[in-house]
Structure 1
Amino acid sequence: MITRDPSAFLDAARGCAADFGPATARAAFLVAPDGFARAEQSAGDNRYMAAAGFDATRALAEHRGLHRALSACLPTVCFAGVPATPDAVFPNNVFATVAGRCLVARMRHPVRQREAARADIRGFFSDVLGYALHDLSTQPHPCELTGSMVIDRARGLGFCGLSERCDEAGARLMHEAFGLRATLMFELAPGEYHTNVVLAVLAGRAALVCADGFADPALAATIAGLYAPHALMLSAEARAAYAGNAIALGADTVWMSARAQRALGEAGRFALRAAGFRVAAVALDAVEAAGGSLRCCVGEIF
């Protein structure tokens, strides 16, 4: 089912066992920030993007550090960046996977639509991994994959925030493409562009929730209740520092940027420890100038 009705969604979600598939990815992929610069088109609806001060040398070094760190946790491949696609450092919005299938997004901005056409990344999934391509890039409805859709992979649940980056028709296309059991659609707060900045579901058993990122803050509390007692409500300050842009890679580790970890604070880290997670952090200050953080950098391979 796919619905805007929180009650109907919760009734369905509570009946879903954690048997939909692996809770976390078996591998990851990155795209290097070659040609790292401000993308003016994307800046039009991404309030997190810096106005100036982009440091390509620092961004490359930070991204290399992220690659090294993730490679110690799970197999992680990195594709070269392309200067004509300055947002490509955030590939999870463009490519996503389920077992045996790679989804390709319909991005809102032309500068990001170029990423979806990359033959090397498409070929890696189709020719190397043998995945079927589910190509949404040529239809008219924006649907920016795991930027717009936060997924509980263990139970097959989707949380899709609607914005200029994903309309209702795009949400339905993603729900079908991911093969989800139930998806809840909702409006993001004005100024928010992606759900994965305001919500993280961690290995199907915990959640980080930024209520001020939802048009209806009460809905954020409802979603948090689904993951109680391991749901952490984040402040506006923590959201702005990307504490909600986190990802579980493996059963016991949550990854976020060093800035996000600082904003999470000791109380937040204690709450995650209570859920069975340690926090691993990587410095990404320069990368974050582009309007995303660690989770946005990580493409998951299921």
Structure 2
Amino acid sequence: MNPVPITLSPAGPAGPVRSARRARRRRYLLCPPEHFAVTYAINPWMDPDRPVDRAAALRQWRELAAVLRGLGHRVDLLGPEPGLPDMVFTANGATVVAGRVLVARFRHPQRAGESAAHRRWFAAARFGRVSTAAEVNEGEGDLLVAGRRILAASGFRTTPAAHREAEQVLGLPVVSLELTDPRYYHLDTALAVLDDSRVMYHPEAFAPPTRRLLRRLYPDAILADPADAAAFGLNAISDGRHVVLPAAARGLAEQVRAAGFVPVPVALPELLKAGGGPKCCVLELRSDERGGRVDGGAPRVA
């Protein structure tokens, strides 16, 4: 996959952004929140007594999908299934590296059925190398591809044993990180990969040894303050140039801009009621860049 310049230049508080960074076109899997609800609580953000506006959630999700298409990316659709209200968070369903797929095994029984839905999609889309995790692993929620390594978290959902399994199945070395703040129960709520060598993260979400490790690996990382982290600002999607992040994380957007990236704000307040943001809604389908073909049998989002 070759770098492709994308002409969209979103405006922020300081006007249109000019950036020398180059985007790579991506292929993403999304699932419309047609059955979205908060009927149980498996993270601190979820409150079943708090009303959810499903129509608003669907509207906000469609805007996110339109932004991704507008940036030149391919968006494929996973069909929603009744009884699985969190299916909109496709990032948790699998991790895909060079055409190899590791389907998640969820910690909580309320989400267990999502694994089978993802397996069916990858079979229909003719992905040839699909494995289902033996260890508890919640996909790109806790396994973030960063260049030629995978940053993998444990502490709340994914187990340390799953890190070794991911390394074996996906063929990249895994760096283990420990989350300690239950509000940031997945790695993608506390850290975002901006490009192959740069990340942004919230130090207070991690154990002290992990903070030291991240400082050593990424000395020029962008650090999110508590307010932007609580706005789910780190639950972001980057194509190497554009960074799609929650509109409420204004300070983080300015840091992203100052680092030469193009912030693209979106608003998903209904999905935040379930502890989800832009990245939670997007699973990246990384093709085999060594020449292997990955066909797409599923329809694109209309």
Per-residue deviation, 1:70: 0.8
**Could you tell me the TM-score, scaled by structure 1's length?**
0.80
Unaligned runs of 5+ in 2: 1-22, 287-302
Take 1:117 and 1:124, find their aligned partners in 2: how far apart are those partners? Answer: 9
Per-residue deviation, 1:151: 2.2
How many pairs does the alignment contain? 261
Q: Secondary structure at the match of 2:114?
A: helix
**Could you tell me the TM-score, scaled by structure 2's length?**
0.80
Per-residue deviation, 1:60: 0.7
Per-residue deviation, 1:225: 4.3
Q: Secondary structure at the match of 1:103?
A: strand
Counterpart code for 2:57: A
Partner residue in 2 for 1:279: 263
Take 1:186 and 1:228, find their aligned partners in 2: how far apart are those partners? Answer: 16
Specify which of 267, 273, 288 is matched with residue 289 of structure 1: 273
Counterpart code for 1:276: G
1:66 and 1:282 in contact (8 A); partners too:
yes
Per-residue deviation, 1:91: 1.0
Partner residue in 1 for 2:74: 75
Instruction: Using the aligned pairs only, state the percent identity.
Output: 31
Compared with structure 1, are the counterparts of its residues 116 and 108 closer, same or farther at alpha carbon in structure 2 (3 Å cutoff)? same
Cα offsets for 1:11-64 (capped at 9, x unmatched): xxxxxxxxxxxx966310101111211141xx23x1122451211110011111
Q: Say if 2:186 is the partner of 1:194.
A: yes
Take 1:25 and 1:292, find their aligned partners in 2: how far apart are those partners? Answer: 24
1:50 and 1:291 in contact (8 A); partners too:
no
Q: Say if 2:241 is the partner of 1:252.
A: yes
Q: Which has the higher helix share?
A: 1
Alignment of 1:86-235 (within 5 A): 86-118=85-117, 121-136=118-133, 139=134, 141-152=135-146, 154=147, 156-181=148-173, 183-191=174-182, 192-216=184-208, 219-229=210-220, 231-235=221-225
Cα offsets for 1:114-155 (capped at 9, x unmatched): 01111xx4344334343321111xx3x311121112220x2x
Per-residue deviation, 1:223: 1.0
Partner residue in 2 for 1:26: 26
Compared with structure 1, are the counterparts of its residues 49 and 221 closer, same or farther at alpha carbon in structure 2 (3 Å cutoff)? farther
1:24 and 1:203 in contact (8 A); partners too:
no
Per-residue deviation, 1:291: 0.7
Per-residue deviation, 1:195: 1.0
Q: Secondary structure at the match of 1:256?
A: strand
Compared with structure 1, are the counterparts of its residues 186 and 95 closer, same or farther at alpha carbon in structure 2 (3 Å cutoff)? closer
Take 1:206 and 1:271, find their aligned partners in 2: how far apart are those partners? Answer: 13
Instruction: Report the aligned-residue RMSD.
Output: 2.0
Take 2:158 and 2:213, find their aligned partners in 1: how far apart are those partners? Answer: 22
Counterpart code for 2:171: G
2:245 and 2:264 in contact (8 A); partners too:
yes
Unaligned runs of 5+ in 1: 1-22
Q: Secondary structure at the match of 2:279?
A: helix
Per-residue deviation, 1:98: 1.5
1:160 and 1:185 in contact (8 A); partners too:
yes
Structure 1 moving runs of 4+ over 6 Å: none
1:209 and 1:224 in contact (8 A); partners too:
no
Q: Secondary structure at the match of 1:117?
A: helix
Counterpart code for 1:85: L
1:31 and 1:297 in contact (8 A); partners too:
yes
Specify which of 237, 243, 256 is matched with residue 227 of structure 2: 237
1:142 and 1:167 in contact (8 A); partners too:
yes
Take 2:102 and 2:131, find their aligned partners in 1: how far apart are those partners? Answer: 5
Take 2:120 and 2:260, find their aligned partners in 1: how far apart are those partners? Answer: 37
